[in-house]
Structure 1
Amino acid sequence: MGITISFGIQKGGVGKTTTTAICAYLLARKSKVLAVDFDSQGNLTAFLTQRNIYDFEGHTVLQAMMERNPTPYIQTVADNLDVLPAEDLLATFARYTYTQQKGDPNVILCDTLRVVKDDYDYILIDLPPNLGEQTINGLTASDYAVVMLQTEPFCFDALDRYIELLQHIQERTNPNLRLSGILATMMDSRTTLDSAIIEQAIKDYEDVVFKSVIRRRARIKEFSIQGLQSKTRADNSALRPYQDFVKELKERVKESATR
């Protein structure tokens, strides 16, 4: 059965989508991976497919949840890598849960992904930047949660509230959810503030913080336009911190599974 990992925090622009996309790309080198775009902006869809998100109108994660069957809506990106797309209409998900849904509205995505969970080694979920119905559904469907920490004050301030939400999910809808760790992203090594935030996070959360740190790189931005690739020295240099993170994440998942 596939391992489902979500990437989230209730703040936009912190590297959730980029991290989800690159991790999916790297994991797919040796494993079968499904990337689930659960943000109505559809950035993960555009990043991985290099297509306009409206090409997938009527064939997205929203329709998959309405039918509780993602199979007809999964798009193949590359060998071992598929994506369940999203576009703007995913923003209507909350209205759907309260007008059409019968039963617990928090388990819709979980029920949907269960259909294909045995088909993949990893399912990665890119969550939206809020604490609403989509995030609750995404965490309820997850085995592990990666909490994103952009190294700036507002994102650091959001950590406690997001971790409180994880605890709430564990108590109410998903007792098997585990916090895999806090990942520092978009670090600017030229500023002392970024380093100070990481140091404070380690002080407050200790070993929960991943040792891997994702720094700002221009090449990462270019991947979103040109597509993910590892052809040049610049490509591999940009991907290396993510490779370190994926290795650390897999080790934590393996260690957690043996407890």
Structure 2
Amino acid sequence: MGTTISFGIQKGGVGKTTTTAISSYLLADMGYRVLAVDFDSQGNLTGMLTQKNIYDFTEHTVLQALQEKDPVPYIHRVRDNLDILPAEDFLSILPRYIYREYKGKPTDLLRETLDVVKEEYDFILIDLPPNLGDHTINGLTASDYAVVMLQSEPFCYDALDRYLEFLAGAQANTNPDLVLAGILTTMLDARATIDSSILDQAKEDFEDLVFESVIRRRSRIKEFSIEGIQNRLKADRDALAPYQSFIKELIHRVKERQIQ
């Protein structure tokens, strides 16, 4: 049975998609069978992993998988050990479908859909959109673990408490088995004093919930979104190293929890 992990916070541009994409890539490289789920109608995870136009997947996306409660026909192979359930902007109509046509519990649709293939993968990683709406509650309800993103800047830090409250609401009402895997600091600018201050404050406020791994700003990471994730050059290895450290921490936390 696979482990489902979502990446989210209600703030855009904080590294959710990049982290989901690179984590999927690295887990697949380690030999794990991985399904990446693009649950953001912007489709950026789809574009980054497949290097295709998101509209190449029109009518063959996670939306159709949800409508049929069967993801199998809509899963796209990216590379060995790595598949994706793609998205494009029609995913934005999901709330209308849920409340007008879907007959089940609105928060359970993604979980029920992914359950069909959960045994086929070691990890299912969900890229959540930057909001606290139906997509996010479905994503958290489908997850075994949640990684909360913290861009080291004031607006994202201000959003952190509300997202954790939202996550607690999911635990109380729709998914009592959901575990907060931790808070991952991203896009840290080592030259900016405020970035370091926010990281220090997060560690003081949330202690061991904050991952030791920190994702710093690197131009090579931005280039991955255009060129695809690569691991050939020293610049690639340097860019991927913090994510490799994060993956090791994440796997340790997951295994530690499973033993308990």
TM-score using structure 1 length: 1.00
Give 5+ residue unaligned stretches, structure 1: none
Which residue matches 1:212? 213
Which residue matches 1:18? 18
Give 5+ residue unaligned stretches, structure 2: none
The SS at the match of 2:93 is: helix
Residues 58-207 of structure 1 mapped to structure 2, 5 A cutoff: 58-207=59-208
Which residue matches 1:229? 230
Q: Distance in 2 between matches of 1:253 and 1:219?
A: 29
Q: Distance in 1 between matches of 2:76 and 2:88?
A: 14
Q: Distance in 2 between matches of 1:94 and 1:85?
A: 18
TM-score using structure 2 length: 0.99
User: 1:120 Cα shift?
Assistant: 0.1
The SS at the match of 1:146 is: strand
The SS at the match of 2:37 is: strand
Q: Distance in 2 between matches of 1:255 and 1:167?
A: 21
User: 1:103 Cα shift?
Assistant: 2.1
Q: Distance in 2 between matches of 1:160 and 1:226?
A: 35
Letter in 1 for 2:229: L
Q: Is 1:7 matched up with 2:7?
A: yes
User: 1:219 Cα shift?
Assistant: 0.3
User: 1:258 Cα shift?
Assistant: 1.3
Q: Distance in 1 between matches of 2:201 and 2:174?
A: 31
User: 1:129 Cα shift?
Assistant: 0.1
1:27-77 CA-partner distances (Å, limit 9, x unpaired): 001100000000000000000000000000000000000000000000000
Q: Distance in 2 between matches of 1:184 and 1:105?
A: 31
User: 1:98 Cα shift?
Assistant: 0.7
Letter in 2 for 1:37: D
The SS at the match of 1:28 is: helix
The SS at the match of 2:200 is: helix
What is the alpha-carbon root mean square deviation over aligned residues? 0.4
Identity of aligned residues (%): 67
Letter in 2 for 1:188: D
The SS at the match of 2:36 is: strand
Which residue matches 1:252? 253
Q: Distance in 1 between matches of 2:82 and 2:177?
A: 26
User: 1:141 Cα shift?
Assistant: 0.1
Q: Distance in 2 between matches of 1:256 and 1:168?
A: 21
User: 1:101 Cα shift?
Assistant: 1.0
Count of aligned pairs between the two proteins: 259
The SS at the match of 1:210 is: strand
